[in-house]
Copies of this chain bind each other. A is one copy, B any other.
């Protein structure tokens, strides 16, 4: 049984959702609200698994509400449903932590399927939205990808991580409970494996090329 909370200012639509959810096996409407003025309280009072969130609403909009809800209930899945097709809305919704983004042109069956999918850990998106996401992705993100290994040992990785934080050999030695000469030894090996010759170069490479 998937409990769904609905936030939608259009009275008619809100009631349609409520009806649809309560009359379909496996779904139930945990609550239907016309705005997000008490969103945290609403969800606390009437727990749910998935939130169906409209964007255009009086008072707090759906994206701000998503941010807020995610902060208080990080594990909750939020499915954005809207008529907006703009990059900016999509972008902000994703950044706010939305798990899915579907258009209001979706069929009732599509809504139910999308709700099931977000519950299952997926991110249903109207294909057109998905296209926009991919485009945003491509335009905003050239680099990345390598994630090479360089065959660093565990200890070397630790040293490199601490080096990245800007710590001196002495402090790193203290952190790892070993002598400073040991650190020097590790650093030498790291430089050798990374083919660099200074701390700054190593840090630069570590951040850009690796996960550190």
Write the residues of chain A forming the contact surface with B, with a CB cutoff of 8 angstroms: 88, 91-92, 94-95, 97-100, 117-118, 120-128, 130-131, 133-134, 136-138, 140-142, 144-145, 147, 163-168, 196-205, 207-208
Contacts and interface: CB of A to CB of B under 8 A. Distances in A.
A137 B133 contact: yes
A184 B128 CA distance: 45
Contacts of A141: 95, 137, 140-141
Contacts of A130: 100, 122-125, 130, 133
A125 B122 CA distance: 10
Given A121-B131, A133-B133, A137-B133, A200 B95 contact: no
Nearest to A128: B122
A121 B121 CA distance: 25
A208 B133 CA distance: 20
14 contacts: A88-B145, A91-B144, A95-B138, A95-B142, A95-B145, A99-B131, A100-B130, A123-B133, A123-B134, A133-B137, A137-B141, A141-B141, A166-B198, A203-B203
